[in-house]
Amino acid sequence: MAMACFDRASPALKKTLLELHSAEKPVEIDQHIHEFNAVRYHIQSSDSEPFLAHLSISTPLLSEEFSRSHGLSFDAAQMIRDIRTDDAIEIVEPAKEGYQLTLRIHLSKIPRRKESVKIIAQISTVQAVLLSSQLKEMLRTMNFTSKEQVHAVMHKPIRLVYQQREPFFVIRQPTKITAVFPMRFKEDSDVIIATAFFQELMDVGSREGWAKAPLCTWSPIPPPELRGELLEDLSTNCGFVSFDITARRIKGKKLDKMVWSLLNFHAFVKHHVKCTRGFIQRRMRKRLDNLIEILRNKGGPEEEEEEEEPNNEPGGCGCMRSLAGTSRSKATLERRRRSLFSNKIRYSIKVRGWVRFRHRLSKISKFSPRLRYPKLD
Amino acid sequence: MASTLRLYSTCIRNTLEAAMCLQNFPCQEVERHNKPEVELKTSPELILNPVLICRNEAEKCLIETSINSLRISLKVKQADELENILTKKFLRFLSMRAEAFQVLRRKPVPGYDISFLITNYHCEDMQKGKLIDFIIQFMEDIDKEISELKMSVNTRGRLVAAEFLKQFI
């Protein structure tokens, strides 16, 4: 799915950093980039510090309560360490006011080869790492909770907000963790298309061969685990989608993919609904063309008459001209007969029933106007 | 099921053949005006009895005739909510482009999904048999198209769902 919001790397940030890196002379820049879901970047580079750029990143907190106590996550710090080449990137402590992370990037230390594109692409994904690390930490903490604590925290959903007005919940249960997404759409047709999609999602997930995927369920009413939550969070028009996450999914590389998929679930569904509406529109347009073509085909042999006499065409759309040409007036029949014997008409299109029609007409017109009768004295 | 469709189409065809006997008739209310009487319904002597042909509870066809015009209203079957919105969208799409069909009404009659208005001028410009053929084929094509659209939407949903779940594997 080639959609900007599903890419981890920010395209605007990547482009700006590549331009800065490839500039031959030091460039002074003070640029703010705002992206969807309240993501902000601030890039600064001045003449006094050539080939040195400061990048500040602000990403929404999924859960205020959880993130405050953990600061910069282990995953984010590890990722920044991994992309450091010759200390090209340093973490600035403390971060700039209003931002969660500030990086100092030594552009001159980034190699000027194809690797530079890869490194800059990795820097552009820092925001995605910051965001997904919050959920990863949360899931790991929930998973390693002791049995006594499980009983205490069970049935206490954690409310996470990634996209504005679209919270989702994560609930710890004895053998699994459940992520519940309340779904809302503005239009009724979107609700119906999305509902059909959720039913297919449930159907596909329950088949053989998909045992490794988390179990997906959809219900029109809130699950019992969400009892006690705010009414505005539970009032939806498209039901609730739940994913059951088992312990083996919270290990290794699978966790990263799963977390990113869950964070982008709302955007994914909305993108699918939008594409489906476009698909329906395209099909309708094509069908309209077919229906109009049917009208034209029903016109049949009368179409050739229009080439000779364009002035007599009735008003309206061209698609009805052929049907309109089937007038039963005698003058029209006479004109038609004359046109059949005219050498000017070239039949480039094969018309069904034409041979039979011509044969019938030739039987009618036995009188030839060229015949001359001898004058009687 | 195909047999009931054939019977339904045949019944509509025969009724249309009988009803489509239209002639020019100037308006009796307003001088120098010529209006389709089936729309106005101001003079009961010019309006014939409407005929309602029902295939089942969900599908029906109303044929209203007058001296100079004929109105055909169709109600298409809608088995579930998805078919309901697809039918609404598609028929609204066609109605908005009514000038391409000339005999199509821009707004359907209340209680129906799509309506045609055929006047004596249409009968003069076009062949009666072909008009009737077009309407019958239009009716059959709409049913087919809605079923295909529904199947396509469900197939798309299934493919997208499979792609989404693949990320977890």
Write the CATH number for A223: 3.30.1460.20
Q: Flag whether A359 is in a domain.
A: no
Q: What is the pTM of this model?
A: 0.76
Sign of CA dihedral A180, A204, A187, B82: negative
Q: Flag whether A18 is in a domain.
A: yes
Q: Flag whether A318 is in a domain.
A: no
If asked whether residues A82 and A153 sit together in one domain, one would say no
The domain boundary, picked from A102, A133, A164, lies at A133
Residues 185-224 of A with CB under 8 A from B: 188-189, 192-193, 195-197, 199-201, 203-205, 210, 212-214, 216
Alpha-helical regions (H) of chain A:
11-22, 64-68, 74-83, 114-124, 126-143, 147-153, 188-205, 231-234, 253-263, 265-299, 305-308, 321-324, 330-340, 354-364
Q: List, in sequence order, every residue forming a beta bridge with A240; answer none if it has no partner.
A: A182, A219
pLDDT value of position A36: 79
Q: Flag whether A47 is in a domain.
A: yes
Q: Report the percent of chain A where pLDDT is more than 70.
A: 72
The average confidence (pLDDT) of chain A is 76
Q: Is B141 exposed, middle or buried (0-12, 13-18, 19+ CB in 10 A)?
A: middle
| Interface predicted TM-score (ipTM) of this complex, two decimals | 0.87
Higher pLDDT, A88 or B71: B71
Identity of residue A203: D
Per CB-CB distance under 8 Å, the chain B contacts of A203 are: 158, 161
If asked whether residues A191 and A255 sit together in one domain, one would say yes
If asked whether residues A191 and A71 sit together in one domain, one would say no
Is the pLDDT reported for residue A323 higher than 50? no
The domain boundary, picked from A253, A271, A289, lies at A271
What's the structural domain count of chain A?
2
When mean pLDDT is compared over A44-48, A238-242, A292-296, A346-350, the highest value belongs to A238-242
Cis peptide before B36 (omega within 30 of 0): no
Q: Kindly state whether A295 is in contact with chain B, defined as any CB-CB distance less than 8 angstroms.
A: yes
Q: What is the mean pLDDT of residues A151-168?
A: 74
If asked whether residues A264 and A151 sit together in one domain, one would say yes
If asked whether residues A77 and A28 sit together in one domain, one would say yes
pLDDT value of position A270: 93
Higher pLDDT, A183 or A209: A183
pLDDT value of position A197: 95
Is the pLDDT reported for residue B151 higher than 90? yes
The domain boundary, picked from A83, A106, A133, lies at A133
Q: Of the ranges A16-30, A200-214, A263-277, A309-323, which one carries the lowest mean pLDDT score?
A: A309-323
If asked whether residues A52 and A86 sit together in one domain, one would say yes
CB A298 within 8 A of CB B130: yes
Q: List, in sequence order, every residue forming a beta bridge with A180; answer none if it has no partner.
A: A169, A242
Provide the residue range defining the domain that includes A12.
3-133
CB A266 within 8 A of CB A3: no
Q: Flag whether A323 is in a domain.
A: no
Chain A closest-CA separation from residue B114 CA (Å): 15
If asked whether residues A101 and A185 sit together in one domain, one would say no
pLDDT value of position B101: 86
If asked whether residues A184 and A102 sit together in one domain, one would say no
Q: What is the mean pLDDT of residues A201-221?
A: 89
Report d(CA A160, CA A315) in Å as an integer. Answer: 62
Looking at chain A, which residue has its C-alpha nearest residue B88? A189
Q: Which of A176, A192, A206, A319 to mutate to test the interface with B (most CBs of B within 10 A)?
A: A192
Q: How far is CA B88 from the centre of its chain?
A: 12
